[in-house]
């Protein structure tokens, strides 16, 4: 947004310069027309003089005036050409600035769109995370129930001693393995005796 404002300010400055130069150009063109009209008047006056009044002094004066006017006209035409060139350059600069404004706006629009997509993805991830936390909580609760049932079943058998305190998973597994081994030994003993 700052870049767009800066470009627009530059464009306004360039357009202001262009208006000023166009105004100066119009003034020069007006002065040029006036000088040309003046030159034509002098030429007309000279042509309308009677033949006997066309003395050498008047001729020299007219020629000098004519030369001066031609000099002014040439200078003004040169200034006009420079201003036309400057106007062309300013118009090109303004066109470039306008193109930059359009490009910057498009870039800004793309960034906003990308930001919306990222926001949407973040919200989806948060929702998924919440679902995962709920599922994990449910699984943890279920696991804890099964664990307690296993401990209860393991240590409620006849001849088993109550656990001394909080058991680790390895201790529970070891107790179950012990019961399983004893059961297997008992099973083999019965099998060996031929008992049904």
**Closest by Cα among 94, 131, 78, 97 to 4:** 97
Model confidence at 121, in pLDDT bands (50, 70, 90)? very high
Whole-model pTM: value is: 0.42
Per-residue pLDDT, 30: 87
Higher pLDDT, 108 or 38: 108
Contacts of 147 (CB under 8 A, 6+ apart): 169, 172
Per-residue pLDDT, 4: 72
Residue 58 has pLDDT above 70, yes or no: no
Model confidence at 185, in pLDDT bands (50, 70, 90)? confident
Per-residue pLDDT, 139: 94
Higher pLDDT, 37 or 4: 37
What are the residue boundaries of the structural domains of the chain, listed by start? 7-132
Q: What is the mean pLDDT of the chain?
A: 81
Is the distance from CB of 62 to CB of 42 less than 8 angstroms? Answer: yes
Beta-carbon neighbour count of residue 98 at 10 Å?
Answer: 13
What's the average model confidence in pLDDT over 77-94? 84
Q: What is the 3-state secondary structure of 102-126?
A: HHHHHHHHHHHHHHHHHHHHHHHHH
Reduce the DSSP state of residue 162 to 3 states and report it. coil
Of these ranges, 35-49, 57-71, 85-99, the one predicted with the greatest mean pLDDT is 85-99
* Per-residue tokens: 166: 């909080």
Per-residue pLDDT, 48: 66
Per-residue pLDDT, 118: 93
């Amino acid at each position: 947004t700052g870049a767009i404002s800066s470009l627009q300010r530059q464009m306004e400055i360039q357009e202001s310069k262009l208006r000023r130069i166009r105004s100066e150009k119009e003034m020069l063109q007006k002065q040029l027309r006036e000088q040309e009209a003046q030159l034509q008047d002098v030429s007309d006056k000279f042509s309308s003089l009677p033949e006997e009044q066309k003395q050498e002094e008047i001729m020299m004066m007219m020629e000098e005036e004519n030369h001066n006017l031609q000099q002014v006209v040439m200078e003004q035409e040169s200034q006009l050409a420079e201003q036309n060139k400057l106007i062309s350059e300013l118009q090109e600069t303004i066109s470039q600035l306008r193109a930059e404004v359009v490009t910057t706006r498009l870039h800004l629009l793309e960034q906003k769109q990308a930001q919306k997509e990222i926001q949407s993805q973040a919200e989806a991830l948060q929702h998924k995370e919440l679902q995962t936390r709920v599922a994990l909580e449910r699984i943890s609760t279920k696991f804890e129930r099964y664990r307690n049932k296993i401990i209860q079943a393991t240590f409620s058998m006849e001849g088993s001693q109550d656990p001394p305190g909080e058991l680790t998973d390895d201790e529970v597994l070891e107790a179950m393995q012990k019961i399983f081994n004893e059961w297997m030994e008992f099973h083999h003993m019965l099998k060996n005796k031929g008992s049904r």
